[in-house]
Homo-oligomer: A and B are copies of this chain.
Amino acid sequence: MKPITLKDLALKLNISVTTVSKALKGYSDVSKSTRDAVFALAEEMNYTPNSVAVNLRTRQTNTIGVIIPTIVHQFFSKVIDGIIEEAEKKGYLVITLQSNESVKLEKKQIDLLLNKRVDGILISLANDQKEIKHLQKVINKKTPLVLFDKISKSLVCSKVVINDREAAYNAVTHLIQSGCKKIAHFRGPLNPQNSIDRYLGYRKALEDNNIKFDKSLIYTCEDVSFEEGYKFAEDIYEKNKDIDAVFAITDLVAVGAIAYFNENNIAVPNQISVIGFSNWFMSSVISPSLTTVDQPGYKMGKKALKLLFKEMNAQKKGKEFIPETIVLPTKIIKRNSTLI
């Protein structure tokens, strides 16, 4: 039951391992008769090459590593979907790890992947990112690295993102154009760049429309959860009956807010409009259905992998590679939680 090796084939055919290897790889300097014999026997004995040995010899594993905060999250599972599909096309396998928003875990996982000698790493950073030494290490070791969605501006490497600031700007502008004037923002945690950017987009939209920024209308999520959305909606409504819109950091939070409004007979969107971010499937089936910003997860996964391959290929050819940043377009999906 031990796997068949090249040696087994060579022994049976009475030729050298070298020749068997070359025959199997279709080298031209092997006679047709030998090649045929090798292929026939390999087929018959059900030979499959031992990837581990090949990897060691070629210093290449055809494996890439992916680290995301959490997989049970529609956006990230879409990204993973895109990555796996694209990787498979090129004969690569994908190892997925979850940081659970912990930088400590993230560090350990980077080391695991590095030891595993993956050919490249794709990562979306944990929220409490303050230091980036572990990522700098990846770059120093010349392991291709691409950040996506949750990135760090201070790292010099390729990135795939959306323009969070602009997307948020557009979302809030949409609310303003529909007549809203007192717009709350349930923002994300303080650290992540995309949470900051969405907040800045919100502020800019207010500014450009001469709406005074009011700090008391800002709530900060820690877990970015349904419960927070619900709780913040309750709190803000009790303190500001005249609030007329909520821009939430993500659909889950928006759905929590809508749940509170529904339960308390506060009409969405007639009294309060709500706009989310991400476009989870869920948002299309709740009532009222949620207007939101579509965030192209699947595409982001594909693009991130393509960029990684580009870097890997440049490296193989010994060429210099200049990091690229790809900004994917977003669009507002208009549904029934906003007036227009």
Contacts and interface: CB of A to CB of B under 8 A. Distances in A.
Interface stretch (A71-79, A188-196, A208-216): A71-79
Interface string A35-64: 000000000000011111101100001010
Contacts of A114: 48
Contacts of A286: 285-287
30 contacts: A1-B140, A50-B56, A50-B117, A51-B115, A51-B117, A52-B52, A52-B56, A52-B61, A52-B116, A52-B117, A56-B56, A70-B81, A71-B77, A72-B78, A74-B74, A77-B77, A81-B98, A84-B96, A93-B97, A93-B112, A94-B95, A94-B96, A95-B95, A226-B281, A226-B285, A255-B285, A259-B285, A262-B287, A281-B282, A282-B282
A115 B80 contact: no
Nearest to A73: B77
Interface string A101-140: 0000000000110111100000000000000000000001
Contacts of A117: 50-52
Contacts of A80: 71, 96
Given A262-B287, A282-B282, A81 B74 contact: no
A142 interface: yes
Contacts of A52: 52, 55-56, 61, 116-117
Interface of A: 1, 3, 48-53, 55-56, 61, 63, 70-74, 77-78, 80-81, 84-85, 88, 93-98, 111-112, 114-117, 140-142, 226, 255, 259, 262, 281-282, 285-287
Contacts of A98: 81, 84-85
A6 to B, nearest CB: 14
Give 5 nearest A-B pairs by CB, closest first: A282-B282, A77-B77, A51-B115, A52-B56, A52-B55
Given A71-B84, A262-B287, A282-B285, 4 more contacts: A51-B117, A52-B117, A71-B80, A73-B77
A95 B281 contact: no
Among A48, A72, A281, chain B packs the most CB atoms within 10 A around the CB of A72
A116 B51 contact: yes
A48 B116 CA distance: 10
A84 B51 CA distance: 23
